[in-house]
Amino acid sequence: MPDLVSYLRDAKLAGDVETTRSSNHGNATAFAEGHEGYRFGLVPLKTWTLPQVLSVMAERVGIDPDPARATGTDVIDPHKTVRALERMRDRLRLAAQRRERVLVATGHPAGMIEVHLAVAAALRAAGCELLRPAPGAVFASPGRYGGREYQLAVRYVGGVAVAAERGIALWHTHSPDGMRIMLAELERQGEPLPDLVVADHGFAGAAAAAGLDVVAFADSNDPALFVAEAEGRVSVTVPIDDNVQPHLYGPVSEFLLDGVGISTL
């Protein structure tokens, strides 16, 4: 653990990350106020006030719980990251042992996808069935960036579901639409739903809302999945900066996949 803790700090995956206090505080406020875009497809089981949301984030991520402090810097406690990775690793080992049906998805095709690709490869090598439902299916709502709208659709890269614009670009997305489409397609075909979902953002949120077993990654400004974990709807949420250079996640993948089937690293 000490070596990984140091690495997380050095790579700014945890510790003094680039995510600001204003982003953490603002997103927690938006979540508490019920803004749909900050809930990742989940409807909380109770009303969460801002102090309560920040308290959950302090416990599970390490940020400052003070609702009066809205600016400056904030942190992700790397020890919390490692402990959550250990719990996720236990679940992945179990999936490998059982050769479960698994769905892997990310809203971060320029960051966290490095970890998701490694997870998908390791579970496939261990004999798990990687699900790829609804390739090409269009999201219900468009992606928005710079005042423009873009039609998004499900696409698979190395067994990992992502959002793609007309097949020419992979998109960062918080939308739950992709997961909803994939699960609906499995049901339409009469196939069982996944035994396990490994995801982030709305892909994870929609799977949790459907009552599936979910392990997830989330940044310090994404409270929805940590609140869902506190409510018992997500098995593990790993606190980590979710959008640094992809190669920097290599040691995280190596730690996470130790003992998970056949190493692919």
Q: What is the pLDDT of residues 69-81, one digit of tens each?
A: 999 999 999 999 9
pTM: 0.96
Same domain, 101 and 219: yes
Q: How many CB atoms lie within 10 A of CB 137?
A: 18
Cβ proximity of 55 and 223 under 8 Å: no
Q: How far is CA 161 from CA 2, 77, 166, 239, in A?
A: 33, 29, 15, 21
Total of domains in the chain: 2
User: What pLDDT was estimated at residue 149?
Assistant: 86
Query: Residue 19: which domain range?
Result: 2-60
d(CA 171, CA 162): 7
Same domain, 131 and 204: yes
197 forms beta bridges with 103, 214
User: What pLDDT was estimated at residue 2?
Assistant: 60
> pLDDT under 50 in the chain at which residues?
263-265
CATH number where 195 lies: 3.40.50
d(CA 25, CA 23): 6
Give residue-wise pLDDT tens across range 85-140: 999 999 999 999 999 999 999 999 999 999 999 999 999 999 999 999 999 999 98
Same domain, 235 and 188: yes
At 239 the three-state DSSP class reads strand
Same domain, 50 and 135: no
Same domain, 8 and 102: no
Q: How many CB atoms lie within 10 A of CB 160?
A: 26
